[in-house]
Structure 1
Amino acid sequence: MIRTKKILHRQCWRNIFLIILVHVVFLCGICLFWWLYPRIYMHIAYMKMDFLMPNSKQIINDFRQTGNTKVKPFNSFVKEDAYKIDPSEHFCDNTACGSLQMLFVVKSHVMNFGHRYAIRKTWGGVKQLRTKIVFIIGYTEFATPFIEEELKQYNDIVQLNIIDTYENLVYKTIYSIFWLLDLNIETEFIHFVDDDRLVNTLNVYNIASTQIAPSDLVMIGHKLNYPRPQRDVTSKVYLSPAEYPFSYLPSHIIGGTVLTNMKTVKMLAIGVSYVKVIPIEDSYFGIVAAAFNIEMRHHSGFLRYEMRANVLPYILSSPGYENIYALIRDWKLIKRRGFTFRPAMYIYNSWSLLFDRYVFSLNR
């Protein structure tokens, strides 16, 4: 009787173990499917890349083999009429541009005079590094006299001949890239950033100098992995099926803060000539980067959402600074606590970097 009870007891535990094992395997299978499906889907979608980049296979093969192609560009960007204000001639009058450590390319709304002033007085004007800042703005008629006055005082504004709307943000980045190449400026690193962000300048430079080599083709920031395109017509990031017919977007760095180097900027300038433009900036440059073999690397120090003020000395870039007084206040907090980068975060991101590089090598 006792022996029978022991056998039943063992069988009961064995059954419980098997049930748990089956559930664990099932959940792992679901997680694996959830992880693999968008990647397989995007691999298949990129076999149909001709929708976004006509003659894609020939272009990609040409660039991999020779670094050039004879295929005619799909897009035609007319630079002669693109700029209403171009400060190139006197951009380097006040500061030497021959050996910059960091160039900030700030996408700013034409009416955000206060934001630009606050950035110049805070993270855009640090004295510990050789930096330069340029603001890329759109056009609105009644702001012209004020913009001209601002230009006289600072000479750091590139005004494009386009209406300053969210849909045109992608063209701000495209023409800022062309402007940089025409300027032929020498800088170690370039940080594309929105004017509603707080940037911890020295932390950004420290990360750039340890994680970006001059020969790298890389963009570092907050990386989104295979998001779905927004099909809600009321959303500002709406993408119609006619503009983008696939169910997933390629992984990309959010457009509000992207750290890179000049070699990558030159490759992006080539890429945008061949890839059909869609009106969502960060998604578009994710497509360009994926097509032209530019690594997109995640770093948790580039925040996607605003966080508590006490973590600001340890981060790289934070959104949520539509209020310029908050920007000035929190910059003072960073200066008071000193520029530093939390060791634990550095170790975490070092491991994250190794993993990202491994995954990138598999996808090449």
Structure 2
Amino acid sequence: MAIRTQLPLMFLLCCQTCVILFLLWRDMAPNLKQRKRTINDEHTCHYNVTGCGDETVQHQKINRKSKRNSMPQYIDERDLRVILGDKSMCDDVALIHAVFVVHSAVGNYPRREIIRQIFRRDPYYKKYTIRLLFLFGQPHDIKLQDNITQEFRQYGDIIQGVFLDTYHNLTYKAVMGMKWISQNCRNVKYIVKMDDDVIVDLHNFFTHLYNMFRSSDHTIICNAITQPKIFRKGKWGVEKHHLRYYKHYPFSSCSGFAVIMPAAMIPVLYKATLAVPFFWIDDIYLFGMVRRMIPKLELHDSGPMYFDFHGNASLKCIKRAGCKLAFASMSYNKMLYRAWKEKQKHLNN
């Protein structure tokens, strides 16, 4: 009798369990199908990151109903608008040997002053026609904008975009510079992209690098990296759902602290950025993903003879006669000017 009375209860429990399992399966089945589709897509696009759909970096757009939609985002030219910039900077000469485009942060005024001083005092600044440009976006603190406007009026060497000046907008900063140069500086031989913590040795640049590939408009000179490591944490951390299952980017790129590009390629690179899904790490995006869209555009590895990002080691080299370093990253502001003065001692002797 006891068994008979328990049968309806057992039947009810079994029915509830079946319903719960069915509901769980219904929710998980689409995710399993999506996961299989994603894995298949990854195998298909292993060496074609720009066509990897979900595996390219995606941004969340908020629609009018405040719902977040995850979708591939391409660079919008409206986000590249310039609010400060002197369009006549390249108009007064027939040929400019090099434009040094410095990626700077809004608050790094002391570094910009040191770089300006180095360029003004360097004798090679007078031997060649050179232009110096600083790129940055808008400050979080609107009060800083008055200082930036005053700095622009004093020097005229600033290109400022409408985007916020943040690490995740580095690509916008770089592409904005390419667009501006494409439109306003067609009479340039080389474009040198560098960071504001980099010392440039103009003597070594013009002696060893400037004429290295003067017959080629399809070579980017830099400290090249074969399949750079993908960081998941820290300053350069990429979220796990971007390029998942990868430990390295499936292409070569440049260490972006200093890169030399033929100016003839800048308009081509800029147009290619409009066809490649956005990626916020500018070095990976420009010299890896975008570069691969342009036939025959190659990287030439000239580091560590001419490029080095180890500050103290670089300074030791610069102190020695015969050091060929053209670009070296320095850890603090005073080291920039100190390194330049050490180099001038050898040149004067």
The reply to whether TM is greater than 0.5 is yes
Amino acid at match of 1:299: S
- Contact preservation (8 Å) 2:80, 2:175: no
The alignment covers a number of residue pairs equal to 276
Could you tell me which residue of structure 2 aligns to residue 101 of structure 1?
A: 97
Change (3 A) 1:335 1:248: same
2:325 alignment partner, one of 315, 339, 342: 315
Shift of 1:161: 1.1
Could you tell me which residue of structure 2 aligns to residue 296 of structure 1?
A: 299
Superimposed CA distance per residue, residues 313-334 of structure 1 (whole angstroms, 9 cap, x where no aligned partner): 42010002432x2211221111
Q: Report the secondary structure of 2:161's partner residue.
A: strand
- Contact preservation (8 Å) 2:98, 2:188: yes
Superimposed CA distance per residue, residues 173-222 of structure 1 (whole angstroms, 9 cap, x where no aligned partner): 01100010111331111100000000111211233333223542121111
Change (3 A) 1:142 1:262: same
Could you tell me which residue of structure 1 aligns to residue 9 of structure 2?
A: none
- Contact preservation (8 Å) 1:42, 1:248: no
Unaligned runs of 5+ in 2: 1-41, 56-72
Q: Report the secondary structure of 1:236's partner residue.
A: coil
Distance 2:229 2:344 in 1: 39
Distance 1:97 1:193 in 2: 24
The answer on 1:113 being equivalent to 2:118 is no
Which range is displaced more, 239-248 or 184-193? 239-248
Distance 2:213 2:105 in 1: 29
Could you tell me which residue of structure 2 aligns to residue 78 of structure 1?
A: 77
Change (3 A) 1:194 1:308: closer
Shift of 1:291: 2.9
The answer on 1:160 being equivalent to 2:161 is yes
Change (3 A) 1:319 1:81: closer
Shift of 1:263: 2.0
Distance 2:172 2:315 in 1: 33
Distance 1:53 1:254 in 2: 26
Superimposed CA distance per residue, residues 35-55 of structure 1 (whole angstroms, 9 cap, x where no aligned partner): xxxxxx99961256412699x
- Contact preservation (8 Å) 1:219, 1:264: no
Change (3 A) 1:206 1:180: same
Change (3 A) 1:258 1:138: same
Q: Report the secondary structure of 1:311's partner residue.
A: helix
Distance 1:44 1:84 in 2: 38
Shift of 1:303: 0.7
Q: Where is the helix percentage greater, Structure 1 or Structure 2?
A: 1
Shift of 1:296: 1.0
- Contact preservation (8 Å) 1:138, 1:161: yes
Q: Report the secondary structure of 1:136's partner residue.
A: strand
Shift of 1:102: 1.0
Could you tell me which residue of structure 2 aligns to residue 330 of structure 1?
A: 339
Could you tell me which residue of structure 2 aligns to residue 91 of structure 1?
A: 89
Supply the RMSD in Å over aligned alpha carbons.
2.8
Amino acid at match of 1:314: K
- Contact preservation (8 Å) 1:215, 1:263: no
Q: Report the secondary structure of 1:198's partner residue.
A: strand
- Contact preservation (8 Å) 2:223, 2:302: yes
Unaligned runs of 5+ in 1: 1-40, 55-73, 341-364
Amino acid at match of 2:254: I
Could you tell me which residue of structure 1 aligns to residue 227 of structure 2?
A: 226
Distance 1:302 1:254 in 2: 9
Distance 1:51 1:42 in 2: 9
TM-score, normalised relative to structure 1: 0.69
Amino acid at match of 1:103: V
Change (3 A) 1:289 1:322: same
Change (3 A) 1:197 1:219: same
Could you tell me which residue of structure 2 aligns to residue 202 of structure 1?
A: 203
Counting aligned pairs with the same residue, the percent is 21
- Contact preservation (8 Å) 2:308, 2:314: no
Could you tell me which residue of structure 1 aligns to residue 214 of structure 2?
A: 213
The answer on 1:138 being equivalent to 2:134 is no
Q: Report the secondary structure of 2:211's partner residue.
A: helix
Q: Report the secondary structure of 1:210's partner residue.
A: coil
TM-score, normalised relative to structure 2: 0.72
Q: Where is the strand percentage greater, Structure 1 or Structure 2?
A: 2
Shift of 1:138: 1.5
Change (3 A) 1:310 1:128: farther
Distance 1:156 1:45 in 2: 42
